Amino acid sequence: MRFKTFACFVGPSLLLMVLFIAVPLVSVFIQSFHVTQPVIERIETERCTAGFLEQQCSTEIKNVPVLDERGSIVTTTRFVGLENYRAVVRPDSVQAAISSWNWPALMAIDFWKALRFTLSFTLITLPLVIGLGLTIALAVNNTTRSIRGPVIFVSLLPYIITPVIGALSIRWLFVGDGILTQAMEAWSGRQISMFAQGWTIELLMLFYRVWHVAPFAFVIFYAGLQTMNRDAIEAAMMDGASRFERLRYVIIPHLMPLIFFVSLIHLMDAYRVFEEVVGFRSQAHVISLQWLTYDLLQPDDAGNRAVSRASASAMLTMIGIVILLVPLLRKSWRDHKGVR
Amino acid sequence: MSTSKALRQPVTLRMLSASFLTFWCLLAAFPIVWIAVMSVKAPLDAFASNPFDVILGPITKAQGRGLTVLDIAVLLIGLWLAVRVAMRVLPGLAARYSPPGFLALGWVVVILGYGIALFLLGFVVLPPVLGAINAALGLDPLIGLTTQHYHSVWVKNAFWKNFVNSAVVTTGVVTISLTVGTLAGYGLARSGSNLAFWLLIAALIFRALPHSVLVAGYLPIFINSAEILRPILGENAPTLYGQPLAVIAVLVSINQPFTIWMLRSFFQSIPAELDEAARVDGCTHFQAFRRVIMPVMWPGVITTGLFSFLLAYNDFLVTSLLLDQSDMTMVPAIAGYFNRETTMTDQVEAIAAAVSITAPLFLLVMIFQRQIVSGLTAGAVKG
């Protein structure tokens, strides 16, 4: 295929990606070093009211935003260096917290709180998703053919459901005197409220994410099991491999590329954790990095959006995912070179 | 498949695996089924502490709303028939009656028609008929059930407006992202150049980006776009913020990396000899793509379209930040219920709205289960 035809085919898609992914990235990068503020001028006004014998006058100094001829507020943008990053990371508070070994003080800063949750969330769900997905795939592979269809149908439901709704549906089971909270209270004989402290919410979030993504891992592993070579298993049996050894040394190595693929996708998606915070309404206790940016972008009571600080937090979020992905990308690069 | 004696498993293991699978299916279905049950009960029943009260709904029944034995029987048979028709009859119908080359359109018409037919049959035709028969037979309600929450969500709270917005955004995203994506996917699959490889790696990295990073880039530009574009477009420069079209463009772009990866692996499974033969017969690359490759690509296109649909339909972050309150899609609109969720009635209405959002997805899995599985697998084949 000549370069020109290739360009014609790929052009529209590339244009969209450049316009809506690459350019915004650059603009976020630039924004994160600047602050946009309305131009404020001080106006001295003298107000006089009629009084007995003489007028009573008072002068008042007001800060008023400057308006242009269209009546909209004039803004200036100035370069502030790393100030936005400092406002997000708060290095001085971090230093104080670390030097006094004060973990709660460190966790009181939004960014570090979000980072702690996002990383632990990503790394804890990863093995759970792969383990559960593999177990379901092996179990489905074990059953008779006739019930596989319905089982796959039911299994796909958690994966296909809107994430916010999925989180909400689990929340409604536990919120207040929800049906499962009642059950746990009856079983343990204690008053339980799942949404009053951080760690229970976090448990529910972990549960939700595993419930949501395990079907995806299951379908892929199940497809991998279908291409499994029976001769290899039978040969392993001839050599006297036990059931567990066959799983460990024959089946899992066969599925390894798929496990790698699922890990890569899951790492990307779990790092973006956001819908759980919205669905479980956990912002008072648990927040994630993406939610932090989202919150800064939401207009506050005065209608202002903290775009500069949001850009700084967005850049930091991005650096995090790049660091997480580097080992995986390096591995796929080595594979790519090895194939050649 | 006959299992050789040596491979046969001991009974305990088989029992263990079967019980685990049962447990998983219960776990997978329970939250969804449960909110569906809650949404048709009076608030006091929906949040009752005894699970049997939630299922049977005594208070709802006391209000005179409920199902008799006959209703339940008709409902179960109807549901079973609906699933059968969706899984067996619909794909054939779409394939047979859609004009050649417009299979996707045929699917859209068939699904919409099926949804509307089910709705009419279930909510308009059946209730009065069954009501009359029940009255004639003198049957008393057995299970409490009410559709009042759905009524207040869709009619009183004008949820249908959000539904229309969702439909606009989703249709736009699926159409554009497939058109652009098939072209790019074909180009990438048929070009072995280094440039193609690096484009795919860049797309992979783009896929990893959190969406909030990108939205932080759009937001200031979109809000001020009228002023930025004025020198070029003159007085009628649009403000992109709040425009469904802008959201469609954004969602299409965010979805592009995934779309081109998936379509590329589908195109690679089509032998290159096919388009070479067409080229020998005198087609240009584009003609070969349109006349020869596209007709055999429909399964791949439908599968990728499904995933674009899911992304656009399920999105919360982009739509909630880039759209106004007045033209919200369904998923962010449900956040409006959070703020009002003070009384029990509000909560049940929020649940009814959530179930309404889930229902189309449910229908989708029913019809397209096979395509979803094959799509996930195709994505995995090429990593």
Mean pLDDT in residue range B105-111: 74
Comparing alpha-carbon positions, the chain A residue that sits nearest to B344 is A176
Q: Which residues of A touch B7 (CB under 8 A)?
A: 233-234, 237
Distances (CA, A) of B337 to B234, B265, B342, B348, B374: 40, 42, 9, 10, 37
- Model confidence at B5: pLDDT above 60: no
Indicate the pTM of the whole model: 0.83
Share of chain A residues as helix, strand and coil, in percent rounded to the nearest 5: 70, 10, 20
Q: In this complex, do B252 and A298 lie within 8 Å of one another by their Cβ atoms?
A: no
Q: Which residues of A touch B212 (CB under 8 A)?
A: 274, 290, 293-294, 297, 310, 314, 317
Query: Which residue has tokens 């980072």?
Result: A115
The mean per-residue pLDDT over the stretch A116-145 comes to 88
- Encoded tokens for A7: 């360009």
Q: Which of A151-160, B91-100, B102-111, B292-301 has the highest mean pLDDT?
A: A151-160
Q: At what angle do helices A289-297 and A307-339 cross, to 10 degrees?
A: 140
Q: How far is residue B70's CA from residue B126's CA, in Å, rounded to a whole number?
A: 12
SS3 at position B144: strand
Structure confidence by residue, pLDDT tens digits, B30-52: 888 888 888 877 777 777 777 77
**Complete domains list, chain A, with CATH:** 111-339 (1.10.3720.10)
**pLDDT number for residue A130:** 92
Neighbours of A40 (CB within 10 A): 14
Could you say which of 3.40.50.720, 1.10.260.40, 1.20.1630.10, 1.10.3720.10 is the CATH number of the domain covering B152-383? 1.10.3720.10
Beta bridge partners of A73: A67
Contact list, A166 vs chain B (CB under 8 Å)? 31
pLDDT confidence tier of residue B2, bands split at 50, 70 and 90: very low
Q: Are B333 and B159 in contact (CB under 8 A)?
A: yes
CB contacts of B14 in chain A (<8 Å) are 142
- Nearest-angstrom CA–CA distance, B116 and A319: 48
Q: Report CA Rg, chain A.
A: 28
Q: What's the CA gap between A307 and B211, in Å, rounded?
A: 15
What average pLDDT does the segment B176-191 reach? 86
Task: Report the 3 state secondary structure along chain A.
Answer: CCHHHHHHHHHHHHHHHHHHHHHHHHHHHHHCCEEEEECEEEEEEEEEECCCCCCEEEEEEEEEECECCCCCECEEEEECCCHHHHHHHCHHHHHHHHHCCCHHHHHCCHHHHHHHHHHHHHHHHHHHHHHHHHHHHHHHHHCCHHHHHHHHHHHHHHHHCCHHHHHHHHHHHHCCCCHHHHHHHHHHCCCCCCCCCHHHHHHHHHHHHHHHHHHHHHHHHHHHHHCCCHHHHHHHHHCCCCHHHHHHHHHHHHHHHHHHHHHHHHHHHHHCCCHHHHHCCCCCCCCCHHHHHHHHHCCCCCCCCCHHHHHHHHHHHHHHHHHHHHHHHHHHHHHHHHHC
**Min distance B138 CA to chain A CA atoms (Å):** 34
The H or E element that residue B143 is part of is strand B143-144
Query: Is the separation of the CB atoms in A171 and B350 below 8 Å?
Result: no
Give the span between the Cα atoms of B13 and B7, in whole angstroms.
12
Q: Average pLDDT of B258-268? A: 84
- Which tens digits make up the pLDDT trace of A176-210? 777 777 777 778 777 777 777 778 888 888 999 99
Supply A160's token pair. Answer: 């296909």
Q: Judge whether A104 is closer than 8 Å to chain B, CB to CB.
A: no
Q: DSSP per residue over B66-121, as a string? A: EE-HHHHHHHHHHHHHHHHIIIIIHHHHHHHHSPTT-HHHHHHHHHHHHHHHHHII
Q: Are A78 and A305 in contact (CB under 8 A)?
A: no
Is the pLDDT at B72 greater than 80? The verdict is: no
Percent of chain B residues topping a pLDDT of 90: 0
Query: What confidence score (pLDDT) does residue B1 get?
Result: 42
B/e letters for A327-336, b = 16+ CB within 10 Å, e = fewer, are: eebeebeeee
Q: Which two tokens stand for residue B349?
A: 């209405």
Adjacent-strand bridge partners of A41: A64
Residue type (1 letter), B89: V
Q: What are B127-162's pLDDT values in tens digits?
A: 777 777 777 776 666 676 777 778 777 877 777 888
Is the Cβ–Cβ distance between A288 and A121 less than 8 Å? yes
Question: CA-to-CA distance for A144 and A64, rounded, in angstroms?
Answer: 76
Say yes or no for a CB contact (<8 Å) between B253 and A17.
yes
Q: Confidence band (pLDDT; 50, 70, 90) for A61?
A: confident
pLDDT grade, residue B382 (50/70/90)? Answer: very low
Q: Give the model's pLDDT for residue B335.
A: 73
Contact A87, A257 (CB under 8 A): no
Confidence of residue B383 (pLDDT cuts 50, 70, 90): very low
Predicted pLDDT of residue A210: 92
pLDDT confidence of residue B188:
84
Interchain proximity A274–B357, CB inside 8 Å: no
Is any Cβ of chain A less than 8 angstroms from the Cβ of B250?
yes
Going from the C-alpha of A106 to that of each of A84, A267, B19, the distances in angstroms are 19, 25, 45
Reply yes or no on whether the pLDDT at A128 is more than 90: yes
Nearest-angstrom CA–CA distance, B260 and B304: 9
What is the predicted pLDDT for the residue at B19? 87
Q: Is A107 helix (H, G, I), strand (E, B) or coil?
A: helix
Task: Please list the residue range(s) of chain B that carry CATH number 1.10.3720.10.
Answer: 152-383
Judged by CB atoms closer than 8 Å, whether chains meet at B216 and A307 is answered as: yes
Residues forming a β-bridge with A37: A76
Q: Which long-range contacts (CB under 8 A, 24 or more apart) does B21-27 make?
A: B21/A136, B21/A139, B21/A140, B21/A143, B21/A151, B24/A136, B24/A139, B24/A155, B25/A151, B25/A154, B25/A155, B27/A211
Residue B240 pLDDT level (bands cut at 50, 70, 90): confident
Q: Within an 8 Å CB–CB cutoff, is residue A4 touching chain B?
A: no
Coil, strand, or helix at residue B36?
helix
- Per the CB < 8 A criterion, the answer to whether B39 and B348 are in contact is yes
Instruction: Reply yes or no on whether the pLDDT at A285 is more than 90.
Output: no
Q: What is the pLDDT of residue A336?
A: 65
Which one of A5, A8, A9, A132 makes the best mutation probe of the B interface by having the most chain B beta carbons within 10 Å? A9
Q: Is the pLDDT of residue B203 over 70?
A: yes
Per cent of chain A over pLDDT 70 is: 94
The SS3 of residue A36 is strand
Bridge-based pairing of strands B66-67 and B143-144 is: antiparallel
Residue A42 and residue A62: Cα distance in Å, rounded? 6
Higher pLDDT, B47 or A114: A114
pLDDT at residue A131, as a whole number: 92
Q: CA–CA separation, B182 vs B210, rounded Å?
A: 25
- State how far the Cα of B71 lies from the Cα of B76, in Å rounded to an integer: 9
- Tell me the two tokens of residue A273: 């954790």
How high is the mean pLDDT of chain A? 81
Distance, CA of A16 to CA of A23 (rounded, Å): 10
The ipTM estimated for the assembled molecules is 0.81
Task: Please state, in angstroms and rounded to a whole number, the distance separating the CA atoms of residues B266 and B288.
Answer: 17
Interface of A with B in 259-318 (CB under 8 A): 260-262, 264, 268, 271-272, 274-275, 278, 281, 289-290, 293-294, 297-298, 305, 307, 310-311, 314-315, 317-318
